[in-house]
Amino acid sequence: MFDTATLPSAPGCYQFFDKGGTIIYVGKAKNLKKRVSSYFQKKDHDRKTQSLVASIARISVVVTNTETEAFLLENNLIKKHQPKYNIDLKDAKRYAYIELTREPFPRIGIARRTGAGESVYFGPFVSAAERDELVRIVRKIFLIRSCRRLPKRACLRHHLNTCSAPCVGAITQEEYQRQVDRAAELLKGKSTELLHMLREEMAGYSAREEYEKALSVRNQIGAVTRLSERQHVERPKETDQDVIGYTISDDTVYLMVFSVEKGLLMGKQEYSFDNREDFFEEFLVQYYADRVPPSELILSHEVDEALAGYLSERKGKAVHITVPKIGEKKKLLDLVQKNLEYAFLKNEMKTKDLQASLGLADSPEVIECFDISHLSGTAMVGSMVQFRNGVPDKKNYRRFQIKTVEGIDDFASIAEIVKRRYDRLIREDRELPDLIIIDGGKGQLSAAGESLRDLDLTIPVIALAKQEEDVYLPGEVLPRKLDPKGMALHYLQEIRDEAHRFAITYNRLLRKKTAVGSSGSSGSKRKKKNGA
């Protein structure tokens, strides 16, 4: 039903839509192709997943740079769209932050949302287990308190040497704040600077022969070094951004807008339209006519200064336009480009991959595939499906009743329908395909090739055998093995399976008509007998 072969083997989020265009499920994946394919390959889904799969009418994906970004994007999309089949965790409004309060003796803890100046926040974190472990380690390294109120006597944590006990004056406020500042540096991801500072401090203690303090700092250095290797924190940014990229193919513009809010990717919008001069500026004017522009637009090239002024007027304050060449913003543009290729050009990509895999001189834009279906030699029928530019062209599907073959003879049946199809196209002076696919092996391929030679046609023709998915080409003794994970073989399988489905549907229709006809004849005979 869905062509998952063209999905990227990259991290990201996928969205399932129903027939009405409503998002019914949002998921994340380390490998989008593998994860999305699993929905349609597995047969043992639970009832809810079966219901989900049955409701899917369209699939959309967003590629991310990392799996962590996929987690964050998934959370934002679920909160925004509240899909029917996602779990509704009403108490989990956002991924949690690590909080350092601004008290005389700050404490460290976990916050569900950020406040306005009362504390310093780090995150959000996509893994609760990782977040909790980080809090535990930071407390242990820097001996920061976690209690909501300072007790009047030292608690068990002080006796376990995991808190410096400011509650009983075991540490001065100045020294305690120094430890808090170091914890903040680590949570900001500045472990290199922190390690340099700690090493200098340890050297100073050693020079003054304060070995106990030197040992304590050395332990901190070891802990920070280990922690820096596993720390994954994303710091929120204040600026909202739209990242806009486009590509042009066959005189059509394919354009995508990524919306980034406070450093988090919130979603994408896709557009396609005819290419013409100044299309980009025209798009920007229309796009922001009914929505407030963000604080920053990240674009692939400069635009007219007057347009920047128009956008600033719409927003009520300056809109900055950035054309990055390097850095994080350039990576965002590259990510849009990657998503453009998968969203709009996947059919072109799989067609080119098929051309390369088969060694064809021309791109197979129009492909026709033949299949034979019968039930123990009865209701022998043939089908032909046509794919154009990577997608089914159902108005050009054809069905054949076998007329010249008696009994079960797939070879002769293939020869008949191939000859009938292209004899008619020649007589009517209609377009011929770029590639012909036969569902079968060497025998079916040979029969089709003979019919084409009788018509003096040199259309490339191949056969795809079901069991081993071997591809047979004329003149090659051994079958050609295509990459089982590649676009080319998946495209061939998609076409072959569609031809098989179409043939079986026609076969069942004929058998049903035959059964109804037989039932009607028997009824007539019984009626005459009763009447006599």
Alpha carbons 201 and 65: distance in angstroms, whole number: 38
Range(s) within the chain of domains with CATH label 3.40.1440.10: 12-81
Task: Give the range among 258-272, 370-384, 501-515 with minimum mean pLDDT.
Answer: 501-515
Compute the distance between CA of residue 177 and CA of residue 25 in angstroms, rounded to an integer. 46
Cβ atoms of 298 and 332 within 8 Å: the answer is yes
Q: Residue type at 109?
A: G
User: For residues 519 and 321, what is the distance between their CA atoms, to the nearest angstrom?
Assistant: 75
Q: Is the pLDDT of residue 87 over 70?
A: no
- Using alpha carbons, select from 385, 490, 497 the residue that is nearest to residue 433: 385
At the fourth CATH level, the homologous superfamily of domain 241-344 is: Ribonuclease H-like superfamily/Ribonuclease H (3.30.420.10)
Gap between the Cα atoms of 265 and 243, Å rounded: 10
Q: What's the whole-number mean pLDDT along residues 329-333? A: 87
Considering the chain, tell me which residue range(s) the CATH 3.30.420.340 domain(s) occupy: 359-514
Q: What is the pLDDT of residues 457-481, one digit of tens each?
A: 999 999 999 878 899 999 888 999 8
Structure confidence at residue 211 (pLDDT): 79
More confident residue, 134 or 256: 256
At 311, the pLDDT band (50, 70, 90 cuts) reads: confident
Please say if the pLDDT value at position 384 is more than 90: yes
Residue 70 and residue 85 in contact, taking contact as beta carbons nearer than 8 Å: no
Q: pTM score > 0.75 for this model?
A: no
Report which of residues 147 and 25 the model is more confident about.
25
Averaged pLDDT for residues 253-279: 78
CA 140 – CA 223 distance, rounded (Å): 9
pLDDT in tens, 122-137: 765 645 666 777 777 7
Could you tell me which CATH number the domain at 359-514 has? 3.30.420.340
Contact (CB, 8 A) for 371 and 364:
no
- Segment 406-418, tens digit of pLDDT: 778 889 999 999 9
* % the chain with pLDDT above 70: 84
Q: Is the pLDDT of residue 444 over 50?
A: yes
Fold of the CATH domain 12-81: GIY-YIG endonuclease (3.40.1440)
Any idea which of 68-72, 112-116, 207-211, 234-238 has the lowest mean pLDDT?
A: 234-238
Cα dihedral 334, 335, 336, 338 in deg (nearest 10) = 90
Report the C-alpha gap between 470 and 440 in whole angstroms: 9
pLDDT at 458: 93
What is residue 359's DSSP assignment? T
pLDDT of residue 164: 78
For residue 237, the Cα-to-chain-centroid distance in whole angstroms is 25
Residue 22 confidence (pLDDT) above 60: yes
pLDDT of residue 446: 95
Per-residue confidence (pLDDT) for residue 411, from 0 to 100: 92
DSSP alpha helices (H): ranges in 143-190?
156-159, 173-187
Strands (E), 454-516: 461-464, 471-472
User: Which of 157-161, 276-280, 384-388, 495-499 has the weakest average pLDDT?
Assistant: 157-161
The pLDDT value recorded for residue 529 is 43
pLDDT in tens, 161-191: 778 788 888 888 888 888 888 888 777 766 6
For CATH 3.30.420.10, the residue range(s) in the chain are 241-344
Q: What does the alpha-carbon distance between residue 61 and residue 338 come to, in Å, rounded to a whole number? A: 11
- Which of the given ranges, 28-42, 372-386, 454-468, has the highest pLDDT on average? 454-468
Task: Write the DSSP assignment of 208-264 as a string of letters.
Answer: TT-HHHHHHHHHHHHHHHHHHTT-------S--EEEEEEEEETTEEEEEEEEEETTE
